[in-house]
Structure 1
């Protein structure tokens, strides 16, 4: 897991250097199709990448987007009318039967289909009309790290290329080329590792964020559950105030992702409310926030780019916490690299 995490700056650079043309070609086809809606389907870590892409699709393209429930088709046999819809399967392995079935049925029901995977020869890639290879290379650990951020970057490049009519704008590409350097600097900071001892005896932990940061909160909770067996409870900042705030107290740690965009501004009120309840809040973001006891610093970048960087120290936190608790993060109990569901 440590080795996979360390590779992420290299993965970013490779995606930008080697996959931009393939992604632009896929984006050009999508721009020609002019879908009226986009439905993403994914599982596990890839589900959080898909959620990020749904935010991008609605905010940047103005197209309604959402996440499918695969069981509607695979278990209940639903056959929704998907004309004028783009259905996107996101999967590191491309090997889960339910995602393959969703794309197969979607094509029968009139949808265009796209697969985003780390395996161009996978069943999911083969069933889809278009495929985007995230080019993360072989991932050693069971817990996904570099494939997750590769999916985020590939989906970001895809959406921005669709917005550009099939071309990633030069100014956008120039900003994205700064990501590998940002990632190297974030991974060189041991603040998250140093905080791991703080949570050694925690049995549950809350993660929260809004907008583009919400998928980061969900992915962090999953990583903590996978590697340290902590009950990770992920909430959007808005949902946290609608009930779950009642459980906030000093012995329930909170990791709050607070960026510098509109969602980050709204999260400051959430952190303040948590502080009023004396919750143990650590903020992940570019600036200090009233109500937080500590901060894991990340670069002040465009809100769209932040999820690719904010998750990096949190991956390191999950790894360090597992080791503090005497667990082996490379061999999580009951898990394997490819999970097949239907």
Structure 2
């Protein structure tokens, strides 16, 4: 069974996911052109309130986008951030004082009952609330004070792809505007994304290497860590491969013992401080004879067993996650096809789960 290419019939297995992955360059361009003014307006209104802390709420793929926003807001804006445990309010009835706190709910569809309930509870507790969704008519949008539409367009495949990168770029532009910057560094992303997505054949060849994998480990550090978590989720939900994601630092605190020369390790190696911090981990993995697949620079790929070279020369480290996930989305799609599965319709998945 071969993968459906962009432009082929979506009746073939994986055709819808493949088509939506291929749309991402256009989606990024749309956000930069049409979404930036509204994002700046929202950021200005929130900045005027001078929030002292940020809480991010999300689940699944959106949780990884929220983790990316945590890195952005702490590093770029100097705002302490936390990832909220929604059950503290929805199940346990906690009533924290959220005065001067910004609560950001990130969700593709914005319909998860616990996310909606926790956002409403946060607003009643004094928080400034912001919904970041791909659905301006959602329940989450209705209960939040502010909204950012990530403009990804309808996403029909069950695995989220274009809504994830759209959320990353929208959150980047929001953080930049909140910090008084224009986000102009993102201007080249659509063209760079198109270059990556044009290399589907390269990823398809790599996928044959991993079609029989029984387990994978995905690691990164810094801004790349959310990419590791999202890549693991994509492999699990489309290929049914147990995929464990770790910060490189955490891998050394015990889990390194499970690494051998059979189960592949995927390392997302950013160009910047995150990549520098990962070097000691990569050395340990090579010493153990790991089957190491690297997403990163030419030099990093050449030092690994296999990999995908990213066009990130001159791209700020904080923007690289938008490119890093693209070959890994393609890999999940191609491995699923190679294993005889349909990535458009993963078993047990629903588009609007009870907890999003």
Task: Report the TM-score, using the length of structure 1 for normalisation.
Answer: 0.96
Cα distance between partner residues in 1 of 2:204 and 2:282: 22
CA contact (8 A) 1:88 1:116 kept: yes
Cα distance between partner residues in 2 of 1:18 and 1:235: 36
Q: Which residue of 2 aligns with 1:208?
A: 219
Q: Does 1:129 align with 2:145?
A: yes
Q: Which residue of 2 aligns with 1:296?
A: 308
Cα distance between partner residues in 2 of 1:137 and 1:101: 25
Q: Does 1:74 align with 2:90?
A: yes
Cα distance between partner residues in 2 of 1:328 and 1:337: 16
Once the two structures are TM-superposed, the CA of residue 80 in structure 1 deviates from its matched residue by 1.3
Equivalent residue runs for 1:184-223 within 5 Å: 184-189=194-199, 190-223=201-234
Q: Does 1:89 align with 2:98?
A: no
Once the two structures are TM-superposed, the CA of residue 136 in structure 1 deviates from its matched residue by 0.3
Q: Which residue of 1 aligns with 2:295?
A: 284
CA contact (8 A) 1:288 1:295 kept: no
Once the two structures are TM-superposed, the CA of residue 19 in structure 1 deviates from its matched residue by 0.8
Q: How many residues align?
A: 336
Stretches of structure 1 lacking an aligned partner (at least 5 in a row): none
Q: Which residue of 1 aligns with 2:191?
A: 181
Query: Please, which of 36, 41, 59 is the counterpart of residue 75 of structure 2?
Result: 59
Once the two structures are TM-superposed, the CA of residue 191 in structure 1 deviates from its matched residue by 2.8
Cα distance between partner residues in 2 of 1:231 and 1:156: 30
Once the two structures are TM-superposed, the CA of residue 192 in structure 1 deviates from its matched residue by 2.4
Cα distance between partner residues in 1 of 2:28 and 2:132: 16
CA contact (8 A) 1:281 1:293 kept: yes
CA contact (8 A) 1:281 1:291 kept: no
Cα distance between partner residues in 2 of 1:19 and 1:323: 34
Once the two structures are TM-superposed, the CA of residue 30 in structure 1 deviates from its matched residue by 1.3
Cα distance between partner residues in 1 of 2:224 and 2:331: 17
Equivalent residue runs for 1:289-328 within 5 Å: 289=300, 292-300=304-312, 301-328=315-342
Question: Partner of 1:5: helix, strand, or coil?
Answer: helix
Cα distance between partner residues in 1 of 2:100 and 2:235: 39
Query: Please, which of 304, 321, 329 is the counterpart of residue 343 of structure 2?
Result: 329
CA contact (8 A) 2:218 2:232 kept: yes
Q: Which moved more, 1:91-100 or 1:192-201?
A: 192-201
Stretches of structure 2 lacking an aligned partner (at least 5 in a row): 1-16
